[in-house]
Amino acid sequence: MKLRFTLLALLFAVGGTVLLAQDTGLSAIKYLQKEYRGLGLSPEDVSELAVTDDYPSPSGVRHVYVNQTHNGILIQNAQAILHFRGDDLVYRTSKLIPDVHNKVSGTAPALSAQTAVTTAANLLSSSFGTPTPAGNEGATSLFNWDEVSRRAIRSRLMYVPTETGELVLTWRVAIDHTQSADYWMIFLDATTGKEVKRHNLTLYCNFGPAKAAPHRHNGSCTTSQQPALPVHEQMLEAVIADGATYNVFPFGEESPIHGDREILVDPADTIASPFGWHDTNGQPGPEFTITRGNNVWTYPDRDADNSPDAETNDGGADLIFNDFFAPEQGADTLLPAALTQNFYMSNMVHDWVFMAGFDEAAGNFQRNNYTDEGEDRDFVLAEAQDGSGTNNANFATPPDGQNPRMQMFLWETDDPSVFNINFPENLAGTRNTGLAGFGPVIGSVPVSGQLAIGTDGSADPELGCEDITSDVAGKVALIRRGECFFEQKVFNAQAAGAIAVVICNPENTIIGMAEAEDPALFDVTIPSVLITENDCAPLRVAINQGDSIAVTFQSLAPPPIVGDFDNGVVAHEIGHGISNRLVGGPNNTSCLFNDEQMGEGWSDFFALASSPKTLLDNPDGSEPRGIGNYSTRRTVDGTGIRRQRYSTDFSVNDYTYDYVIWNGTAPHPLGEIWATTIWDLYWAMVDEYGFDDDLIHGTGGNNLAVQLVVEGMKYTACQPGLVDGRDGILAADEIEFGGANQCLIWEVFARRGIGFSATQGNTNDRTDNTQAFDIDPACSKAVVLEKTTDTPTINPGEGVTYTLRATNYKEVDATGVTITDIIPAGMTLDENSIRGTDDYTIDGNTVTFQVGDIKADDSETIIYSVSTDPDLASTRYYFDGAEDGDDDWDLISLEGNFLWEIADTTPFAGDFAWYIVNVGSVQDQALATFDPLPVTGDNPMLRFFTQYETEAGWDGGIVEVSTDNNTWVKVDDKFLRGAYRGNISPDGSAALQNVGSFWGDSQGYREILVDLSEFAGQDIYVRWRFVSDAAVSGRGWWVDNIELLDGYNYQSMATLSSAEGDVAMADVPENGVLVESADVTNTIDPELGQTEVNVFPNPAEQFVNVSLRAERAGTATVQLLSVDGRMLHREVMSLVDGRAQTTINTANLPAGVYIVQVTGQRQVSTTKLTVK
C-alpha cells in the first residue's frame, strides 16, 4: 500500500535510533539532519532548524513542527512536520527548501522594525502619529499605535520564498487594522521597503453582496488589557455544573427554518468545558453572568468599532437566558436572543471539536487552558450583529495565544426599488437602482425631497467633481457619473446641503457604487443611488422646464435576517479558526494562503457535520444540503450560497478534482470540491459504523469521520493541496485508528478524482493537477502482476528489457507462484539476462518462471532482455515534420483570425513545428491535410508528437478524421498511446463539450498513437482543431512529426498463478513496444542523397559516436535530446566527401533513454540511445 509502505519505510529508517520522547523536538531535528539526503537537501539546509510547535493528540501521538532558518531568521512555511508515537517516528511531511544558502537575498535589514511598521501602516491608509515600542516577544518586536491597530503591532524579520525561488529578507508586520475588520500580515523587503506580499488573517466568506461599507471608528480591543489568569496543572476531578439555561436552536439544527428552539440546561460538555461556559478561573462559580466565559465572549458591535457596545444580555445569578424570538422581527428586538444563540453555538462547536482533537494542546480557543497545554488567553471574540457590513461573516485567526475574532452580520434582501418618484404623475413610480458601498443603508425610514440638478463650476458642471455651486440645499441632487469617485460626488453634494443624491449612468447599466480608494477623505452621511441615463433624461428635461419632482428614498424590504441564528454559518466561521490553527501548527497560521488550500472546504464540512440530521430524521447523505439557506431567505432544500448542493448523489453534486481548475481562482469554489469529498467520507463512515445521535461523545461513523478530518489536518503539510489533504486523512487513519479504514478512504477519494494516481502539481497553481479514479492497489487484497519495458519505442534490431513485478496485497502468503510469459515473434530471449530467479523453463516462445512464495505485503521482480529481428519494422507511408512548407495543408478558420502556422518555437525535431497561438479571444482553427491519405496495412495508425500550454480547463485541441472532408469523427476513443488531458469545463466552448481534448500544460512533447483500423482501406483527411474562448490566453499548441504508419509492435500477455488459485494477467501498457519504420536510419535526403547513420556504442557510458555516410557532401545537424524533447547537445557537421563522425560526451548524463537526431535538409535519422 502506498501509505503503508511510506510509514513502514519511516519506521525502518529510524528503527535503530533511540528517539527521546521527552524531547521530541530535539529528536525531530536530529532525524532531519540525519536523513537530509532523502529529502533532497544538503547538510547546510538542515544546519539551522527551529521547533515552532510540539504537542500531543489525545491518542498520545506528538506532532512536532520544524522550520528552517538562515542566520537565525525564520523562512516562511519552510516546514517539516514529524509525528511520534512514543519513541517511534510514524509519519512525516516536508516542505523544507533545498539550496537555501544560494537562494537567500540579504542577510541584514536596511530598515528598522519601527520603520517597517510605519511603512506597512501607510500602505493600508494614511496614518497619523507614530508607533511606540512596547518590548519584544522573542524575535518579534511589539509596537503600540492605537490609531492604526487594535492590538500591538508585531514586526519580525523573515525570509519569504518568491515565485522565482529567491528567499527575500522581509519584515513581516502584523496589523489588526482599526479602520476595518482586517488583520493584515504585510511583508516588506527589509532592504528597499517595497511590499513583497500581504495576507489577510480575516477570512471573508462572501456569502452574498454587501449592502454597506464599514463605518470607521478608532478603538482598541479591551480584552487584551486583562491580566493573565492562573492555569491548572491538571484537570480537576470534580466537574462543576453552573446550572445555566439557554433557549436556543439546538446544536444539530442548522437554523430557525430547520427546527424549533429548545430550553437546554447545563449543555456545556463536562470534559471540554468542565466549569461551564461562564467560568474563566477554574474555580466553582461563574465569573460572568453575561454571554462571556472561557471559550467565547459574544457581544454586539453594531457601531463596527470592533469593541463591545453598551448592550449586554445578562442571565442573572441563575444564568437563565430565555429571550424572545420570532421570525421577521427587527434586529434590535432580537439582539438578546442573538447574543445567546451565538454564545451557545460557539461554545457547542468548541466542545464538539475539542472531543474530536482540537483541544488545548492543539491550539484551541480558551481564556484559561485548564490542562496547562498550549497557549491561553485566546478565547473567541464573537461580534454579533456586527455593523461593518451585511450579507457576510468573517473570522480572523492569529497564532495561538492571541484572540481570534468572528463577525456575524445582518442579511438584507436586495431591494432594487429603493428610489421612488412621487410626483408628477407622468413620471411617478419606482426605478431600478444601483446601491452605494458607502454612506448609510437605505432603510425603512423615508428620506424625501425635491429633485434638483447639481452642478459645479467646471467645464463639465453636471459631473459634480468639484464644489457644488447650484442650489441643492435641502434637496436631492441629480449628478452625472464620470471623472471622479462616486463617493466624492456625493460628498460634494452633501457639503452643499443636499439630503440625498441620484447619480445618472451614461452607460445605461445598473452597477453598484464602490467607495473611493481612500474613503477616509469623504465622510458621507446621506443616501445615494445610481439609475440609468434613460431614466435620468426625462427628469432632467422636466427640471429644466421648471417642473417640481418629488422623490423618496426608502426600502420596503423585510427586516434583515440576523446571521447569529444561522448555526451553520457560525460553525463555518469557527471552522476557519480550526483549520488555520491545525494545518502547520498552532503558532503558524499562514499555511492556508496558497492557491489550492482547502480552508473553505473544511469550514463547510463543519457546517454540515454539526447538523447532519437537520433535514431528515434518517439521512443517508444523498439528500441535497445547501449552506446559508436561512440567512439568504431560501427554503430548507435551497441551493444556498454554493454552486451545487452537497450530496453523495452524483446527480445532485458531480464535483471531481478537475473542477478545481474549472471553478476559477476564488477559494470558495475550490472549497466546495474538498467539502464534497470529505462529506462523502462522513457518510461512508456512517455506512460502515452506523450513526450515533450523540455528536460529541458518540462512537458512530459520524463521530469517527469528524475525528479523521480534525486529526487529518494535523498530518497535512503546510500550504496543502487536495492530495496533501487526502494523505493527511489516510495518515490519521493509519496512525490513530490502525489503518482500519484505508480502502474505504481510497474509494471515497477516488470517486471524486483524487485517487491513487492523481497528481497535485504545484499547490500555488490550481490548474496543474490531474485527476484519477483508481484506488491504492493494496486494496485489491490480491496478487497483482505488472509488466513494463525500458523503452516504448525501438529501432529495428534494437534490444528490449522487460520487468515483471508480482506484488502480494493479500493478508496471507501466496505460495507456489508461477509467471508465464510469451516472447513475441521476432524477439529472442537472452537467457543470460534473466534476473530474479534461476528456476525457469523455456518451451518454444513460452518462458515459465517459478517464483515460489511471496509473503504478504511483499513483492518479487523478474527482469529479462530480448533481441529483435532487424528486418521487422513499421512501414511509414506519410510523414510531415513541418520542414517543407504548408503546400500540403489546409489552414481553416472556423471562427476567429489566428491561423495555424509553421513556427520555429520549440519544435520536437528539426527546425520547425506546426503551431497555433492561444489568444484571449474566441477562436476555432483547424490544420487539415489538403489531400486524402490512404489507410493501408494490417495495423494502421496515426502518430504525432504534441506539446501544449493553454488556458487550463477551457481552451483545448482535438484530433478529427473524415472520409469525405465534410463529416468529421472525433478520435478520443482510439488512442493507443498517450491521451487527451480530459474534458474541459461544462461551461466551456460547445465544440469541446462531451469529449476530451489537449489542454493545460503538457510539460514538454508527448507521443500520440491513434488507431486507424476503423478506416482501413479508405482514404482519410486528418485535422488538428484548436478552440479557445474569449477569456484567458496561453502559449498555444504545437504538433510535429506527423506520420501514418502500418505499425509493427511487440506485445504479449504474461500470466501469474499460485497454489491458492490466484490468477493475474498483464501486458505492457500503451500498445507495447513500437518499432520505428526501417527507413529512418537509411534515408534519401534532398541535399545529401542516400544517407546512413550509425550510433555507437549503444548502450553508452562515457561517450557515444555518431557516424554519417552520404552520397554527396553537405552539412547535417546532430542533436542529443531528452525523451521529453529538451535539447542537450547540438552541432552542425560538415560531410567532406559525404563522411563525418562526432563524439558526444555522455559521462554526466543520468542513466536513461535519450534520442540522437540527425537532420539534413529533412530529418534523416532518429535513434534511441541508452545511457548506463
Pairing, β 405-411 against β 380-390: parallel
Asked if residue 518 has pLDDT above 80, the reply is: no
* Number of CB atoms found within 10 A of residue 775's CB: 21
Could you identify the residue written with the cell 524579520? 157
pLDDT category of residue 126 using cuts at 50, 70 and 90? confident
Cα–Cα distance between 440 and 43 in angstroms, integer? 61
Q: In this predicted model, what pLDDT tens digit does every residue of 382-411 receive, in sequence order?
A: 999 999 989 999 999 999 999 999 999 999
Does this chain's domain 106-200 share its CATH topology with 601-779? no
Q: Return the CATH number of the domain spanning residue range 875-1046.
A: 2.60.120.260
Q: Return the CATH number of the domain spanning residue range 601-779.
A: 1.10.390.10
Asked if residue 162 has pLDDT above 50, the reply is: yes
Tell me the range of 517-521, 557-561, 625-629 where mean pLDDT is highest. 625-629
Sheet of 827-835, strands arranged across: 783-789, 800-808, 858-868, 827-835
Which pLDDT does position 645 carry in this prediction? 96
Query: For the chain, what is the radius of gyration of the CA atoms?
Result: 35
Element at 960 (helix H, strand E):
strand 956-962
Asked if residue 46 has pLDDT above 80, the reply is: yes
Which pLDDT does position 910 carry in this prediction? 83
For residue 1075, which amino acid is it?
V
Specify the CATH architecture of the domain 106-200. Answer: Roll (3.10)
Cβ-Cβ contacts under 8 Å for 325 (sequence gap 6 or more): 247, 256, 261, 334, 337, 565
Higher pLDDT, 840 or 989: 840
Asked if residue 771 has pLDDT above 50, the reply is: yes
Asked if residue 1079 has pLDDT above 50, the reply is: no
Residue ranges of the domains in the chain?
Answer: 2-103, 106-200, 233-411, 419-553, 601-779, 781-871+1050-1073, 875-1046, 1081-1171
Q: In this predicted model, what pLDDT tens digit does every residue of 628-681 receive, in sequence order?
A: 999 999 999 998 889 999 999 999 999 999 999 987 666 778 999 999 999 999
Q: In this predicted model, what pLDDT tens digit does every residue of 854-890 receive, in sequence order?
A: 999 999 999 999 999 988 999 888 989 998 889 889 9
Higher pLDDT, 776 or 1170: 776
Cα–Cα distance between 548 and 501 in angstroms, integer? 16
Q: Return the CATH number of the domain spanning residue range 2-103.
A: 3.10.450
Asked if residue 959 lies in contact with residue 1023, where contact means CB atoms within 8 angstroms, the answer is: yes
Asked if residue 139 lies in contact with residue 74, where contact means CB atoms within 8 angstroms, the answer is: yes
pLDDT category of residue 108 using cuts at 50, 70 and 90? very high
Which pLDDT does position 23 carry in this prediction? 78
Least confident of 476-485, 695-704, 1099-1108: 1099-1108
Cα–Cα distance between 489 and 461 in angstroms, integer? 12
Mean pLDDT (whole number) for 712-727: 98
Which pLDDT does position 909 carry in this prediction? 85
Residue 639 in grid coordinates: 441551493
pLDDT category of residue 5 using cuts at 50, 70 and 90? very low
Mean pLDDT (whole number) for 819-828: 97
pLDDT category of residue 1088 using cuts at 50, 70 and 90? confident
For residue 304, which amino acid is it?
A
Which pLDDT does position 240 carry in this prediction? 60
Which pLDDT does position 237 carry in this prediction? 41
Q: In this predicted model, what pLDDT tens digit does every residue of 792-811 receive, in sequence order?
A: 999 899 999 999 999 999 99
Which pLDDT does position 414 carry in this prediction? 65
Asked if residue 240 lies in contact with residue 276, where contact means CB atoms within 8 angstroms, the answer is: yes
pLDDT category of residue 1094 using cuts at 50, 70 and 90? confident
Q: Does domain 419-553 have CATH number 3.50.30.30?
A: yes
- Specify the CATH class of 1081-1171 in words: mainly beta
Cα–Cα distance between 171 and 115 in angstroms, integer? 10
Q: Does domain 233-411 have CATH number 3.10.170.10?
A: yes
Mean pLDDT (whole number) for 444-457: 94
Residue 378 in grid coordinates: 485566546
Mean pLDDT of the chain: 91
Q: In this predicted model, what pLDDT tens digit does every residue of 521-531 receive, in sequence order?
A: 899 999 999 99
781-871+1050-1073, superfamily in CATH?
Answer: ntegrin, alpha v. Chain A, domain 4 (2.60.40.1530)
Higher pLDDT, 211 or 112: 112
Which pLDDT does position 283 carry in this prediction? 92
* DSSP annotation string for 856-913: TTEEEEEEEEEEE-TT--BEEEEEE-S-S-STTEEEEEEESS---EEE-SS-SSSS-E
Which pLDDT does position 664 carry in this prediction? 64
CA 279 to chain centre: 40
Element at 537 (helix H, strand E):
helix 533-544
CA 753 to chain centre: 14
Cα–Cα distance between 329 and 249 in angstroms, integer? 16
> Phi and psi for 723 in degrees, rounded to 5?
-70, -40
Least confident of 265-269, 273-277, 298-302, 440-444: 440-444
Which pLDDT does position 841 carry in this prediction? 97
Q: In this predicted model, what pLDDT tens digit does every residue of 1054-1069 receive, in sequence order?
A: 999 999 999 999 999 9
Which pLDDT does position 1083 carry in this prediction? 56
Asked if residue 586 lies in contact with residue 399, where contact means CB atoms within 8 angstroms, the answer is: yes
Asked if residue 236 has pLDDT above 60, the reply is: no
SS3 992: helix
Which pLDDT does position 261 carry in this prediction? 98
Least confident of 277-281, 959-963, 1125-1129: 1125-1129
Residue 993 in grid coordinates: 463539450
- Show the beta-strand stretches assigned E in 126-239: 132-137, 140-144, 153-161, 167-176, 183-189, 195-200, 202-204
